[in-house]
Structure 1
Amino acid sequence: MTDTLFADVSYYQPPVDDTYPYPILSIRANDGTFRDPNFPRNYSWVRRSLDSGRLTVGIVYCYVRPNWQETAATLRDQVDRNGGLHPRVVLMLDVESGGNPAGDASDWINRTYWDLVAYCGGNARRVIGYANAADFASMWRTRPPGLRVIGAGYGSNPDLPGQIAHQYTDGQGWGGGLPEGAPPFGNCDMNSADGLSAEQFAAACGIGGPPAPNEIDEAARIAAAWIGRRITPGEIVCPDGLGRFAEFEHAHVYWSPTMPRTPDGRVHAQPIPHDGLFEAWAALGFERGPLGYPAGPHTVVDGGGVQPFLGGVLFRQNGSRSGHWTHGAIGARYALLGAQAGDLGWPVSDEYADGDGRRQDFEHGSLRWTAGSGVTPVAPAPGPGPGAPPRPSPGLWDRLRQALRRLLTRTRPPRAGA
């Protein structure tokens, strides 16, 4: 069985040189906003060695801190200032309780994780974790799906969920016969990718095979027939720090790790067309509004367009200036009734308060929800609700009915025998 060994170093060790014998090397970039002073030299050597074939995989890691945005930004800046992200470099979160607040830190650790996933072009496998069993259980209780980790367990293998290697010693005699260090560092943290060759370790981290597609570019390629020219030269990070987007002539394309995953673990970016759907979504507050990120592709249907979002479904009828969205119990009943293709037709308002309940208006009726009765149909549609088209006042309705009766009286042919 192959066990690939590798060292884990920082400025506590001397900089790396060509005496280093293993095909993987893990180097620290930062502790929060503290920049490891050896990183420029170490990373330069890693990049050269990856290009020459001396190394198979490079690991760049940060010691995570609650100021996750600054921590992730420092790692990215360290890499960018020193040649950029090499295609065979994996990023790692060093999750340790030392100096960090007690308790579950999953929220800010995961935000760090997804920030770095976005930096890796959406390839979640290129960001891994490091922790001992206690910190893994207490600090990182809720973890991203498919997370790969290096488990720290001196004298024993912790065998953590998703483990692809374990750190078996800190150089102080825990190796059980395995090396307690490596040249030129002397004694240092040492790891073993148990049962994995260096190439298999690389594949487990999402590198070594064909590069993972950039999801925004891939979505634009699929939509090439209609999306138009690209406006933003790169990608823009969303205000939540997780998602990112690019603007095109006829759509904005969004990607976020919070969007649904396919069975193979990928999150596909989704275009939102500039045909009323994007404008309606923007008016609701973009991804920070009630709809959140898109949950599926835009679909052209007879009479308009439909797109699902994490918080509901947005509908745009041809000829309308904006869309309307459905959600919750009313949205579920509307879907069961055939949505825009059913008897109710297209939404003409968003959901709004109506006495002790909620109501939404459609072309041919309304749906009303109360806590006691659930969702019940109401016809004809009341109004005007917020966003609904204005309706004639009751007095005008009466005058129209009277005029119609007079017209029918004058034009109706006489009955037989009259």
Structure 2
Amino acid sequence: MALKELEVRYATKRSRDYKLADGEGLHLLVRPNGSKLWRMKYRFEGREKLLSFGAYPQLGLAEARLKRAAARLELAAGRDPGARPDRKPAMTFEKAARAWHEHRAASLDPGHAARTLARLERDAFPALGKTDIRAVTSADVLAMVRSVEARGALDVSRRLKQHVSQIYRFAIPHGWADTDPAAYLSDLLKPKPRVRHMARVGMEELPKLVQAIDAYDGEETPRRRAVTRAALLFTLFSWARTNETRLATWDEFEGLETAEPLWRVPAARMKMEREHLVPLSTQAAALLVSLREISKTGFVFPGDKPNQPISQNTMIYGCYRMGYRGRQTVHGFRGLASTWANEAESYRPDWIEMALAHAERDEVRGAYNSALYLTPRRRMLQDWGNLVEHMVTSDAGVRRDDVEEVGPPLTAVA
């Protein structure tokens, strides 16, 4: 049904965009800020497109219908009414995206900024880059996202959708675009597969596991045995992921022999692509200090090959050798620590999630909450270190021939 002038004049704003249709593709888009914009949807060569005519009341209903009629004449003649044959688009998606990236790059970690631009150059620019930013439709963005999902990169596809929305939020105030075509695509994204929790023993078996690690006897040489044992213990103490531990370098640690030792894990090695600060317990710091005697490279946990860290499988094979195949993984150490901290009811969930380097589930809250909680996390990890140390008993089977290789056993670390 055709619109009436009074319907257009008195259309009120709502919490979300909505449309008032006039027929033959013409509609009035009413924005949450109260602006009213004339749009016309049409198809050309099998592709859905969108024309922008102007804002109401500067462009009235009658004038909008005249523009619709002119556009339909172009379509009838086999021409695209939205085409600009004599000049390039005033602002392409790629130009706007690069302007957005340049605007925010200085506030980002260089590695994170480079990865963001690389994603756009690999996936977004080939699909959308040369298109006038006003002409990009939701279908265009969804097609780009689907192509990324097709290769199994679900995390990348979600990040790209977020980048597109951020680019449009930057472009709209500059007058380059009017709407965000990615705004309502969240429900159409392919869901992430259900998280498969890594195997771990029950909390009642934690003391036995700690004792098995402290008495580790699964490598051919004392040096390999000492490094594997230290890597397992340090990962248990710090709640780190496997790659965060095995690729650790000495220059990432500060104040190991002070009251506030700290580990700065660079953003490039973090799952969430941002620097992670780990306040170390006295047990973790003492373990590192004792390890310096056998670490002859820049890596804290050196492997058998020159200037290389321990392999990806070193620690998990260590769990196998201790008899925990299928029952306990290295990643499962994090689950044990999280269970302990949550069940203790003495530590806020924010501290626990930050210690595990998890992303804020509430994206809006995450954008504003930049607290690091270093002081309460230091106390929490120190309590955990004290608990783990207490679990090691005098009959844990620590071999004295390893003392010179990696320093004192855990039972002697203060």
Q: TM-score, normalised by structure 1?
A: 0.28
Higher RCO (Cα < 8 Å, 6 or more apart): 2
> Of Structure 1 and Structure 2, which has the larger fraction of its residues in strand?
1
Q: TM-score, normalised by structure 2?
A: 0.28
